[in-house]
Amino acid sequence: MYPGAIPGEAVVHVSEAALTPITDEAVREARTFALDITCAVLRDEDFPAAEQCQHGVEQALSHVIIGRNEPLVQHWHDRWQAEVSLQDA
Query: For 19, which DSSP code?
Result: S
Q: How many domains does the chain have?
A: 1
| Rounded Cα–Cα distance for residues 89 and 85 (Å) | 6
pLDDT of the chain, 89 residues: tens digit per residue? 888 898 878 899 998 888 999 999 999 999 999 999 999 999 999 999 888 878 877 887 777 788 888 899 899 889 988 988 877 76
pLDDT of residue 56: 76
Name 21's bridge partners. none
Which domain, by its residues, includes 9?
2-88
pTM equals 0.61
Please say whether the beta carbons of 14 and 27 come within 8 A.
no
| Rounded Cα–Cα distance for residues 28 and 37 (Å) | 14
pLDDT of residue 89: 66
